[in-house]
Structure 1
């Protein structure tokens, strides 16, 4: 019974120990799996961090210096990594090195699976193959992350290569079950990628063994097999991210020896507890640190990709809570600044474009596309060369490119010819801009269309030339008007002098006529006395003869003065006609001046605001021309009246001359009669009667002559007044001509 009890207890203990050891193996497998997954997450995070570094993007754009420095610094501070580099979309390394300090730039990795995977899948990838380093002294594997530009496009990638054997030394080589139990790992192809005991098996294909094929087929679980005549148990599990399989293997008798050796229970239990604690700590660390950090990385990655609506999910404790708060504040500030910048760009109502440091377009607005006759959507022009955008010539060195190279603001005026053949005068202002670290980000250009301004300037220049030409013509006409006015004033002055002489002669004629009238009355009185006193007829006849002689002399003087008055009046009529011709010339000049002033006003109106001053001057010239025309009409009317009066004077003077001639004949007849009276006294009565009759006729003729002379006197006075008015009018015309000269001079100076 005791033996049975011992056997039962021993058997139960044996089975219990085997079961316990099998569970321990499972836990160890899970622990190693968790460690591998955490390790993979860590290296993926590091790859993402390097990929999101600005220096990686800069390296892909031609400046690899910063990325090289960063990678060298990373390798120096992380001895668990063999190499790191940045490669472009063709798989060519642009920056990177290995742990030996070898520069890998320029090497081609286009044949590597991880290069094609990261460029096609556009996410972090891990190579499923463990590789031997070029030095042959270490085992490595590849982790690659995509590098994106500002628009989220994958333009290359980052590759890092951790030392795989250093990880297995820490987490696999020291894992033991019993005295002989150990762990190892296979890849999905059945090759040994880690072995705690026999390093010679590394990368050896084990698919020739049945238990290996069982592992590859089932993926996870436990199994038994025989190895070198001894029974073995193993537990295995596949890591989904890589396809790698973690295996713990031990001999059964080695596992059962623990049941016999009770003294080792506590040690084994301690080891198990330690492993459990490690697994627990790893799990807690994963939940408390790694997972929150990964969420933060995911959040930061979405923000980096331009998803500003992303929110940081989950709850955070301790320092991670503070980090989450700071990250939220940073993102909010970033959104504010980017929103402000985008708002400023969208608010620009002038043609504007931004060129990046690679001389390609980063941003354009619709106003620039309209000006440059670019009908496509704005997004179509992002990434094209600035020369192609601005000048339809990809090879042209634009002002924006120069501003970036010279790091200075520039401006230029140029003639731009569009695809449709339209020619425009353009002013371009461009200035470079930098980030807060002073790194060149590109240049901003504003295009201003000056075409309409240049057209208006040319029109104003031509308008000024036409106005200047009109001013010269007006100046010439004003000089002609002034000269004509001066000649007219001289002629009127001469006519005024002749009118004074006419008035003086008319006064003398009136005096002579009064004397003749008195003489005629005396003849009539003597004739009456002769009729009463015939005895004294001879004496009276003799006296009559004397008086008749005086009458003849007076009439002759009157005839001479009347003839002179007629000639003067004819000259006055001629002068008046000359004045009329001059006034016609002045009227024509005034009409031309008014026409020129009207043309100048029209041209000034076309010039707009620039010709407003000329419009005022032209209006003043037009008013002066109108005043000149009115004055010319008034002078013409006065001269016409003067011509009519002069004609009347000539006619009256002719009649007076005829009357004087008649009086002369009568006086001669009276003389003959008186001589006959002296010799023929017997006929005195008849002759005295004839003398009385002749005296009556002479009295009537004398009255007619006296009336004519009064009329001539009045006409002469009227003529003198009209000539004075004409002189004043001509002086006014001369003054207007001077004012016209002054206005034209002011217009010319303007």
Structure 2
């Protein structure tokens, strides 16, 4: 299907207008799913990294608190030692007192008798009321805070009984009478007692009465160096208010939180810190998720295997009270071994879906805006392209239609295009070309008629020349035939001499030879006539001579008829030669007229060369326009580079902003990718513009070659004019030649008439010879004498030829 230039302009202009927007739209649309998937992956990764970081941060908070508590414990232990020293030191009296000792783990009671423990000279007593002051321990609490306890060794195993303390029980009384067994219920040696019994200070986590404390235990010695008790200072793990509040205030995701579970021992699976502290101390070891799995056991078993700084992930479905469906929860787990804490930073996975929804809406909105902008750009591009197509394509279409009509022979076409650009110039040039073609066609038609007449005349001359050629060929054949007949003894042959060349000289010599023979024959006839009176005696011979004379008469008649026909042919040839001369003159005139037509053709081709030069300039302007478009594409490329640089800077700033800038970093990266794609697209456009420019240069070169070919055409037309001049000269020479041929034919006609008269004379002589034959018999003697003379004359010829003459004298020779 052919597409006109208007449609091409509309399509091309529309494509230029819409292509960038369509490309951007398609890129956004095609990349949307990838971006969304990447965002999902990044959000999922970010959520895991976020809760992992929160879990690590809580671990670090615990570690920091642990360090601070250890420092505080060290200071508290020094203060307690100093208070104890200032009180007079610790010692045992000789007086014993009964104690109801309660195992702090098993709660088993036993009755024992122990010496009173004195601080200086003052018994510490068995005070369990918080309102009653107790020496040393209450003074330490006032000075440094925390808890302080003095233990007394119960037995050789090292069981230690609390005899003075400010540690509170659940009933708000002092926790005296409880003891730390040397062996835990699980059969393992109690680490506190083991350390003390080695004479060392124990720092660490310990279960004190009914809670876990960060503690410091230091052995107390008597004067003999024996361990008699322990001085203890401690801080309840949950009592660090800033740590507790800091952990409970952490929000993971949208609705998540941080919890702490016990990892080992009796408090395994118990809430140490729960959401808002609502479930602290609750045992959830047997808790199941919505699928029936013991997820708490899985969390704790997995966590206690972790090393310092390691984080494990756990996913499980969880359904809160009042919710219809369970939601998937994700937790980042760490294990703080000094406190046996399983730290879990958990949240629902859909807490991060809001970001996905927002980004999806942004991408959808961006796609919608791109489509709307593409539609607007398409509408504007189509409107502008239609206007441009009408402005450029319509005049070109008119020129194309008019040119097609002219090509089909309609020279009445005229363009009414009034423009000041190349199209207007082309239209005006087209009108001038049509006018010139009209004039040229009028002249060509007129000259065509003359050419037809000249062609007819030339055809007639050609036919005449062919006839002349045939005539010459026949003349040569006749010469050969006459010579053959002469060789056979036919003495009636005669060749016309029309030219003074070798053939003419040959024919003249042949004719003179025949003439001599004829003269000899006449002498013979005279001799025969002289002897006719004596031929009576030779009756038989006379009869034969009579028959020969009859035959000669017939042959002479035949020759006369042939000579007359030949004379008519020669006369007709003379007339044809005259007409050929006239036709040749007319051909010369037509050739001169053809030379004039060639000169006019050269002039018109010069005008065409001017039009071609103007077209070359127009195409060169088109190449300059392509260069300007290339400059515009370069500007777009520079803008894309700047956009890429800005996107890179934005990505750097987003990276500096940390987690808060990750979403913007993704957008900046996409902008950078779009800038890179724009750069590639502009490079492709630049390559196409470069190709158009190169093709334009090729068109310019082709049109310059066309201009060169037109100049060659002008040169060839000039050569054709020179050739026609030579043809005119040759035609004049041909006229002269034909005139000579006509004159020669006239001479041949005159000669043939002379031959005809000679044949008539021969015919008359033959008749006389026939009469003379009858007189031969009158005088045989005279015949004998004349026969002798005839024999002498015939000795000049070949005997066999004379016999052939005698044998073939009845044949007729025709020309």
Shorter-chain TM-score bucket reads under 0.3
TM-score normalized by the length of structure 2: 0.26
TM-score of the superposed pair, with normalisation by structure 1: 0.28
**Structure having the higher Rg:** 2
